[in-house]
Structure 1
Amino acid sequence: MTPYITRALAQQIVDTVRDLCGQNVNFIDCSGTIFASTDESRIGTFHEIGREAAASGSVIEVRENDHFTGTQQGVNLPIYHNHKIIAVIGITGNPDDVQKYARLAERITRLLIREKELDAFNRTESEKKSYILRGLIDHEDIHPEYLRENLSRWNIDEKKSCQLLRLKIHSDNRPVLSASLDNAVSQLFKQLDCQLFTFVYPDEYLAVIEEAVFQRKRQFLMDFAQKYKDALWIAVGNPAFIHEIYDSAFSAEIALKSMPAGCSYVEAASLDLELILASINSRSKKAFLAKTLDKLSSEDLKLLHIYFSCDMSLKKTCEETFLHKNTVQYRLNQIYKKCGCNPREFRDAVRLYLALKM
């Protein structure tokens, strides 16, 4: 496997070396771009001597009377791994004083790369799947070749659309997650030909399924959700390519949160308003809720949920709540008095409905 240096690892190295020598340290890629530095303002800028050091494969010292683009006095030392230059470390300062720290940074880098290689090699298959899937969802750095190698081995086509499945275990089942349920989920993934999946402690399974396979086996998944409705919920994210699976994961999460009471299965494709509301920032949501629902009791909110699920029909709401029509009307009027929004008027009802959805 080809070695790699993530931005996080490079930043860890430059910070460590800076603590030792007290000088600014840069990590420079072979094109001359600084991708980690103890001076944040330099990240992403061009380092001319860094590019030259990578191209020539030799250490370049910069003295005070030298002038190069994006370069200061110091030492720029190429880092080799498996006979290949993978980056350049630059340390600002008098070259005679800081050269030893550049050598130390090189050794630290090679040791950490080797440690990462061994860690990746020694991971079990399930650990690799967990690392890659959660990394893709969380936008973490995964070396492209390592990712490509494993996706190919799992027969996951990067050019085919796929979807993220979220299987959420009911909270009351978490402490006693049975082996039978775990086995049933494993069998489900086999039936759906899911090669990339993991369990996220304490209560969720994540899996990637090809869109074409999902279209063929949707009913099978729905039947599974119905069979195990007392144990878990299933949400299906919108289609996306594997490198953008975080979008599918996000839509599946919204679908899960928006699942109607009594249901055990939902698809993000069936959502519209929920996805829009999910994009609103928390500050705006808080301000809107303060104007609408904050003064209402839990009983008021429960009544509103039922009232809107009955399409604002008093008759249906009475049937669902076993309350007299006058009682329902009285309670709706009390809600109006508390929050200033009349549930029986369209515009105010829309405000209350949106607030409940938030």
Structure 2
Amino acid sequence: MDIPVNLAQNIVKTIEANIGYHINFMDKNGVIIASSDPDRIGDIHEVSVIVLRTKREFITTAEMTYKHSREGIDLPVEVDQEIIGTIGITGKVAAVKLFGPIIKSMSELLIKNYLSDNERHYLVERERLLVEHLLFSSNIQLTPDEEKRLVQLTQKPTAVVVWKSPIDVAHKFEMVDLFPYLKRMLQFEPHVISVSTDEIILIISTTVSEQRLKEIWKSSYLSDFVMGIGLPIEAHGDLIASYKMAEFIVSDLKDSSRFSYRHLKDEYLLATANPIAKKQYHTALFQNISPEDYQMIVELLDSYERCNGSIKQMAKELFVHKNTVQYRLNRITELTGYNPRNLSNFYYLKLGLKTSDY
């Protein structure tokens, strides 16, 4: 690997501030890429070339004559058993020799921390691209591991969960810190997650309960966020519908009580006229009803509306006894949980029938 110049310069500044001696950092070719003395940057450090070849430290004494190397000690810098450059400390050998192992260890530690941080940012960005791929069909080159993850995720019904905050939370923590927390909480569940400064999007299997999502939501990380759970989707090509519903739920950032698609009745349907919403609304009302009972509901509610709720008029229109009308009204309540004699319940039932063309 090649060390970025800005990282090498940061290493030089950090070590120099701690030990008070001039420091040079050389790349894999022995070129000085960072130095306490800016005039030396770009020079070939002859001793560094020797260290790279021998893979051992080298002490330069005052008697040695090298054009771009001065008295001091130079050591190989290794990461994952690969020598990626060398670092040198300039000064009287007797004074600086003891600092050799220290500057080597500090350099390697700073590089490992840099790589770890870069890897974390890479994983966050890669996961965001997977979410966009599923929601918006964006083209990305998937790795075999990513393909396997997406197959595991989409072979069962999935839902989109959205978290948004009504306030600026950037001052509390880096949003990227949320990523490892959420990955730990969901490590045993098929999912992908996008974490950005204004929105968290989770695509997850519906085998994960709403109660589990609420527990994750209770974390101090998410205490300032509103959560929205979209409806379950069987065909992953329709996931955008679940996402839009979750977005609709969190659109009111002051209301955290209505956090799931289960809490929506007509407002999302009327606001969007979305065919997926129509299906969801209709299914919620009539999913366990036989065709015969469904036809009875259609006929009875139509008659109830025409007759303005008059049982006597309905019996006459339907050619049945009044007790039969009463029985069928009660039957509708048993089947759907909605009482057609209640004006608001009647409205929901009629709206459900209007969605029957989904």
TM-score interval (norm. to shorter): 0.3 to 0.5
Q: TM-score, normalised by structure 1?
A: 0.36
Q: TM-score, normalised by structure 2?
A: 0.36
